[in-house]
Each structure stands twice: as C-alpha cells, then as structure tokens.
Amino acid sequence: MTILKSTLAGAMVLTMSLPAFAAEDTIKVGVLHSLSGTMAISETTLKDTMLMLIDEQNAKGGVLGKQLEAVVVDPASDWPLFAEKARELLTVQDVDVMFGCWTSVSRKSVLPVIEELNGLLFYPVQYEGEESSKNVFYTGAAPNQQAIPATDYFLDELGVEKFALLGTDYVYPRTTNNILESYLKSKGIAEEDIFVNYTPFGHSDWSKIVADVVALGADGKKVGVISTINGDANIGFYKELAAAGISADDIPVVAFSVGEEELSGLDTTNLVGHLAAWNYFQSAESDLNDEFVAAWKAKMGDERVTNDPMEAHYIGFNMWVNAVEAAGTTDVDAVSTAMIGQEYPNLTGGTAVMLPNHHLAKPVLIGEIQADGQFDIISQTAEVPGDAWTDFLPESAVLKSDWKDLGCGMYNTETKSCVQLKSNY
C-alpha cells in the first residue's frame, strides 16, 4: 500500500509538472473553477473565459515578456476540495495568481489557505459582502452594487410597496435578504409588508409559493418579488409564474442570479418584462463588448452567450496584467499594492476602478427579459463603488475596509482599531 501511494504521489507530481517542461520561463495562472458536479453548469464557462483571455494576452506578447500558462484544476463542486486544490496550486504548482470560485462557501473554504500562503485570488461573482481579504480581489458585485439599486428601482420606478423576498436557502440570499429587510425598513416599508421565503436548491414545486405571492396583493399595495433563487430552481419558478398568468406589469420579479446562461434553459416568451439586475448584460452597446462577444462566439460556438461573471473575469484579468506590468514583478504584495487604483474600461462603457477595499466601482444595469432570452437594458447608473461592509446592518455599518491607508479589511471606525487582519471565514 505504501508503494501504491507513493507511486500515486509520484504520478501526480509528474503529470502535474508535465506542461512546465514545455515552457521553462512562464507566469502561471491558476484557474480554480468546478468542471464537474452541480456547479460545473456555471463555472465551466468561466474556465473557458479565462483560457480565452490568457490566449489573447499571450498573442499580444504575454506579460513582462513572458508567456502566461494556465493551470486548470477541478475542485468538482466539493467545497473542502477547493481548499485542497488551492493549496496544491500555491505550493505544488507555484502559481502567481488564481482566478476562481463561484459559491460563497467555496470562497470561504479557500480563504484560510490563500491567507496562510499569501496567494492572490480574483473572485468574479456577485456575493453577499461582509468580507474583505488582503488576498482577494472581488470583481463581482457587492450588495450595494446589485441588490440595493434594484430595490431602489422597485421603490422609485415601479412604485412597489410590498416585497416578497424569495431565495434559495444559503448564505448569499440569507445575507442579501437581511440587508434588504433592514434597508426597506429604513425606507418606511413595514415589517408585515415584507414576505420572506427560503427554498432548497433545485426546488421544483412552486405552486404554493406563487399562490402566496399573489395573495399578498389583497391589501391593495403593489407587490414586487426580489428573487435570489439560484440555478435550476428558477426554471420551475418562472414556469409556475407564467402558468399563473402573472405579468411583469402586475407583479414584477427582479432576479439577482438569473442571467443569459440561466435563461437559455427555458422558453422566455411568457416572462417578457421581468427583470434582472447585473453589472453587465450581453446586450450592452459598446465596441469593446461587441468584440468580446464576437471572440467568445468564435471560440465557443454561435449559440453561446456571455454573462456578468465573465465580464468580471475580463476586468479582473486585465487589471491584474496591468498591475503586474506596473509593479514589474508577479510578487503578490507588490501586485496587490499596484492593483489598488487600477482602471480598466467596462464592457458596458465607462471605467471600472479598483478601490482600496479590493472591490470594484462598476455601473449597475437593470434589464427586462425579452422573448429571445436576452435582456433589454432599461436603466444604467453611474459607477457605484463596491462596499465590503454594508451600511444597512448595525454590526457592519461601523466596519470599513481599506488596504491602502489603514492596511485592514475589518476596521472598526468606532473603536478605531483593526478587528482582525485575516478575514472572517
């Protein structure tokens, strides 16, 4: 057995280092996205995006005169495996930077490892905030870049007075709904006008919940649904919504986890007019976006669509390239310092800026679902700076993240002290 295991270990080391022989002096970029298991549906696309971006950069001559080399691993939607693979990437493969993770729990699993080994991770997905790590750059939306503007849109533009917060039971919907509840209360919405429901992953029997939402209209207030329902479950939800004949003009639904990819799994003719809030839609009108979409379709096929986390990787990767060029090295600390203040054009027009709290300033877009599965952008804000600690929960309102001047991701402005240097996982 000992022999077997050491052979295995040897084989692993051998196969893993095979590509390294081909190109001696390269900069290694780790890609940590699930290629199998439940999250493969979303994350495989991001792996392909990264490979495309790296190829493009290499065609331009690489970084610091060296070629980039992608090291792809498969954490298989298994959260502990994320930590293991991250450690492998950092210690065995010696990657200079990692792009990866989708779910919050996978990020929380990776955090202790990259903080211990001083790695660098770019996280491309909208998330619940309440975190800022020295070693992570958050290129997805924080709640104030997606949830709050969308809620404002409901309040101001649609005149919604009663809210149904429907979510899948995990951390992102829980925290987002918590923030929204306290935000809505601050806007004068009474507690009994906020209906919250959590469903399991992949839930399919939505009849009762949809009936509950319709029944909310009984006291004469306009009802709106804010959906943090994740993945497959959306299909059953929208089908039930369409069957119940609820039009977007009666009860609008704004979703934070439904993008172009998710809509390709269903017939959207009955869903026209329902909303989604993101920092990017494929239908955004800009030359950069046309180029990006064309490159993606050329690589992956004509029926493939682009989505928000892909843009996040696009911005994150290009900022990293510029930061490395600026720092003249791939050393994590130097690159981190150079990252802050980096600017790069968004695909939606305008410029994204990396803030000292490791979040981006990005515009918020609200789109209406169209019959062809694309979104019609009906509202676009100016760049909103991402806020790591939300202002709408009492515990985190006093916290602040600033890696540039304060050198702390969890700084208590009341006691004027750094609560902890490592992040809260």
Handedness of CA 279, 148, 33, 304 (dihedral sign): negative
Question: Residues near 301 by Cβ (< 8 Å), separated by ≥ 6?
Answer: none
CB atoms within 10 A of CB 56: 14
294 belongs to the binding site for other proteins (CB under 8 A): no
# binding residues, other proteins (CB under 8 A): 114
In whole angstroms, what is the distance from residue 206 CA to residue 203 CA? 8
Backbone angles phi, psi at 102, to 5 degrees: -135, -60
- Which range, of 1-9, 21-29, 326-334, 351-359, touches other proteins by CB under 8 A? 1-9
79 belongs to the binding site for other proteins (CB under 8 A): yes
In whole angstroms, what is the distance from residue 182 CA to residue 223 CA? 18
Q: Please identify which residue in 53, 57, 74, 348 interacts with other proteins, judged by CB under 8 A.
A: 74
Interface positions, 330-369, toward other proteins (CB under 8 A)? 366, 368
Q: Please identify which residue in 25, 249, 302, 405 interacts with other proteins, judged by CB under 8 A.
A: 249
- Name all contacts of 294-298 with Cβ < 8 Å and 24+ positions apart: 295/52, 295/56, 296/49, 296/52
Interface positions, 297-326, toward other proteins (CB under 8 A)? none
111 belongs to the binding site for other proteins (CB under 8 A): yes
175 belongs to the binding site for other proteins (CB under 8 A): yes
- Residue whose pair of structure tokens reads 């295991």 in the numeric block: 5
Residue 223: CB minimum distance to other proteins, A:
10
CB atoms within 10 A of CB 416: 8
Q: In this complex, which beta carbon is closest to other proteins, that of residue 44 or of residue 318?
A: 44
Residue 59: CB minimum distance to other proteins, A:
24
406 belongs to the binding site for other proteins (CB under 8 A): no
Interface positions, 150-169, toward other proteins (CB under 8 A)? 153, 156-159, 169
The site string for other proteins over 184-223 (x = CB under 8 A, - otherwise) reads -----------xxxxxx-xxxx-xxx-xx-xx-xxxxx--
Q: Please identify which residue in 20, 51, 64, 248 interacts with other proteins, judged by CB under 8 A.
A: 248
Find the radius of gyration of the CA atoms of the chain: 22
7 belongs to the binding site for other proteins (CB under 8 A): no
Q: In this complex, which beta carbon is closest to other proteins, that of residue 66 or of residue 222?
A: 222
Interface positions, 8-27, toward other proteins (CB under 8 A)? 8-9, 11-13, 15-16, 18
- Which range, of 248-256, 293-301, 309-317, 355-363, touches other proteins by CB under 8 A? 248-256
In whole angstroms, what is the distance from residue 226 CA to residue 235 CA? 16
Q: In this complex, which beta carbon is closest to other proteins, that of residue 24 or of residue 303?
A: 303
Q: Please identify which residue in 27, 70, 83, 338 interacts with other proteins, judged by CB under 8 A.
A: 83
Which residue, 378, 388, 316, 328, is CA-closest to 352?
A: 316
Interface positions, 40-69, toward other proteins (CB under 8 A)? 40-41, 44
Q: Please identify which residue in 96, 130, 260, 311 interacts with other proteins, judged by CB under 8 A.
A: 130
Q: Please identify which residue in 20, 51, 64, 244 interacts with other proteins, judged by CB under 8 A.
A: 244
Q: How would you list the strands of the sheet with 399-402, edge to edge?
A: 399-402, 408-412, 417-418
Residues 126 and 280 sit within 8 Å (Cβ to Cβ): no
Q: Please identify which residue in 118, 351, 413, 417 interacts with other proteins, judged by CB under 8 A.
A: 417
- Residue whose pair of structure tokens reads 């905030």 in the numeric block: 129
Question: Residues near 387 by Cβ (< 8 Å), separated by ≥ 6?
Answer: 129, 142, 143, 144, 145, 357, 359
Handedness of CA 397, 256, 228, 185 (dihedral sign): positive
β-strands 194-199, 351-354 pairing: unpaired
